[in-house]
């Protein structure tokens, strides 16, 4: 049925009964919740697929960045993928995703990222695991005390908070360089406003911030938890003050919960191991423009010799294209041509690029094929790290 489909933006005004119904059914939300999400996110972010006069699918495309090697790489966040149950199993979702990836490339964005509800679908269009999203829970009494002063966040502080976040997030591969969509979700979670606070250094600059809210988890025992949506610090003094501020909630709350990775500055600063880190999800990445993604990515390691790669990407028309990859003068380079000795599927490119899996690990999945020396050279260009994403989108 895909020959009769149209991919287009949703209308900028008027009622959206079909789009709202499809999203409501896909995500088990009330109709008014789906309608609110569309308007809160912004209609300009949504695309729909129509078959004649009938809407059969929706998708949200939100521009953002993602930090790798200390640099922000442009990425299109994909969410809200929803298909009318009446047309499931007829290739509509794949067709829609292929059009979204082509739009992403046409707009000059080299990466696409998402959280997957159906791995086989997204893998068929070139996505692969690229990092983790974990839940962290810390007993408040483990945190150090501090007398650092915090004050209520005001909208006038937003630019300073964003600068503090950049300093906090950019060293961490996989953290987002947030756009408006993600920042709005930091301050407002499913219609509930978060409480924001900032702290300033002697120069009056914001060097620590937090958005959080206490929640009762047991009416019987009057237990509470501090749910932290986001925090950050741009100095050691700011981080010490932030930990003390969080501890200050211990008069009512028992624990603080936030999202992060297996490694985290606060966890390293604790003098006790009685905290927990639980894997919640893996996020997926798709490289839609190889040279564009490589040029934008930062490099922390030494220069690396050239690797002759044969890239396989059937979806975006790059099937069996040879590239020569290298790290030269501290920068990733990619030039077309070469001998194509190392066969790399586009799914493997995503995991390699993020530093999530090595060439030899991906070879065991059939996504990389070549000589051990070439795989070792590839791993020098893309060393395995610990890519972590804090945000859900």
Q: What is the DSSP string of 122-176?
A: HHHTT-EEEEEEEEEEEEGGGSPP-----EE--GGGHHHHHHHHHHHHTTSTT-E
Q: 280: phi > 0 → left, psi -120 to 50 → alpha, else beta; which?
A: alpha
DSSP 241: H
Q: Please report the pLDDT score of residue 190 as a whole number.
A: 83
Q: Write out the residue limits of the CATH 3.30.1050.10 domain(s) in the chain.
A: 289-381
Q: Write out the residue limits of the CATH 3.40.630.30 domain(s) in the chain.
A: 2-126, 134-280
Can you read off the two tokens belonging to residue 256?
């603080």
Neighbour count for residue 42 (Cβ, 10 Å): 13
Highest CATH level, class, for 2-126? alpha beta
CATH number listed for the domain at residues 289-381: 3.30.1050.10
Cβ pair 302, 278 in contact under 8 A: no
Can you read off the two tokens belonging to residue 261?
């990775």
CA gap 357, 359 in Å, rounded: 7
Return the residue matching tokens 């003068």. Answer: 329
Q: Please give the model's pTM, rounded to 2 decimal places.
A: 0.94
CA gap 114, 127 in Å, rounded: 9
- Integer Rg of the chain from CA: 23
134-280 is a CATH 3.40.630.30 domain: yes
Residue segments in the chain with a per-residue pLDDT below the cut of 70: 1, 218-222, 318-319
Give the CA count within 13 Å in the CB-facing half-sphere of 187: 16
Q: What are 211's strand-pairing partners?
A: 196, 230
Q: Tens of pLDDT along 326-341? A: 999 999 999 999 999 9
Residues 6+ away with beta carbon under 8 Å from 179: 62, 63, 64, 65, 77
CA gap 23, 19 in Å, rounded: 6
CA gap 142, 116 in Å, rounded: 35
Least Cα distance to 210 among 144, 137, 152, 135 occurs for 152
Q: Please report the pLDDT score of residue 217 as a whole number.
A: 78
Q: Please report the pLDDT score of residue 219 as a whole number.
A: 60
Q: Compute CA distances 255 → 56, 232, 248, whole Å.
A: 44, 18, 11
DSSP 203: T
Q: Please report the pLDDT score of residue 207 as a whole number.
A: 98
Q: Please report the pLDDT score of residue 106 as a whole number.
A: 97
Q: Where does the chain show beta strands of DSSP type E?
A: 5-9, 46-51, 54-68, 71-83, 111-115, 128-139, 151-152, 176-177, 188-189, 192-193, 195-200, 206-218, 223-233, 253-260, 276-287, 304-312, 321-328, 331-336, 342-345, 368-369
Neighbour count for residue 11 (Cβ, 10 Å): 12
Least Cα distance to 57 among 34, 27, 23, 33 occurs for 23
């Amino acid at each position: 049925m895909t020959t009769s489909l149209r991919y287009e933006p949703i209308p900028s005004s008027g009622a959206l009964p079909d789009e709202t119904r499809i999203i409501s059914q896909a995500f088990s939300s009330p109709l008014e919740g789906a309608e609110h999400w569309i308007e809160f996110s912004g209609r300009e972010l949504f695309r729909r697929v129509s078959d004649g006069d009938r809407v059969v699918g929706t998708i949200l495309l939100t521009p953002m960045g993602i930090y790798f090697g200390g640099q922000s790489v442009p990425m299109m966040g994909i969410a809200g993928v929803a298909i009318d149950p009446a047309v499931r199993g007829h290739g509509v979702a794949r067709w829609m995703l292929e059009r979204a990836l082509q739009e992403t490339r046409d707009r000059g964005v080299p990466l696409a990222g998402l959280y997957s509800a159906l791995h086989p679908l997204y893998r068929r269009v070139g996505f692969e695991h690229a990092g983790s999203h974990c839940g962290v829970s810390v007993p408040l009494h483990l945190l150090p005390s501090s007398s650092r002063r915090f004050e209520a966040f005001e909208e006038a502080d937003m630019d300073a908070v964003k600068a503090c976040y950049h300093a906090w997030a950019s060293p961490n591969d996989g953290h987002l360089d947030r756009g408006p969509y993600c920042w709005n979700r930091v301050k407002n979670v499913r219609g509930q406003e978060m409480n924001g606070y900032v702290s300033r250094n002697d120069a009056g600059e914001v060097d620590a911030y937090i958005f959080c809210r206490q929640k009762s988890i047991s009416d019987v025992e009057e237990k509470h938890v501090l749910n932290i949506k986001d925090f950050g610090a741009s100095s050691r003094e700011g981080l010490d003050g932030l930990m003390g501020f969080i501890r200050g909630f211990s008069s009512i709350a028992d624990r603080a919960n936030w999202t992060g990775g297996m490694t985290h500055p606060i966890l390293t600063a604790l003098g006790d191991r009685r905290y927990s880190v639980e894997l919640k999800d893996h996020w997926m990445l798709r490289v839609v423009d190889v040279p564009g993604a490589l040029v934008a990515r930062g490099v922390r390691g030494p220069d690396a010799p050239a690797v002759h790669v044969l890239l396989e990407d059937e979806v975006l028309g790059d099937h069996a294209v040879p590239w020569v990859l290298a790290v030269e003068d501290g920068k990733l380079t990619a030039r077309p041509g070469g001998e194509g000795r190392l066969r790399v599927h586009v799914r493997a490119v995503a995991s390699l690029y993020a530093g999530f899996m090595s060439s030899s690990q991906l070879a065991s999945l059939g996504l990389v094929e070549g000589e051990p020396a070439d795989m070792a050279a590839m791993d020098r260009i893309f060393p395995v790290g610990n890519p972590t994403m804090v945000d859900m989108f």
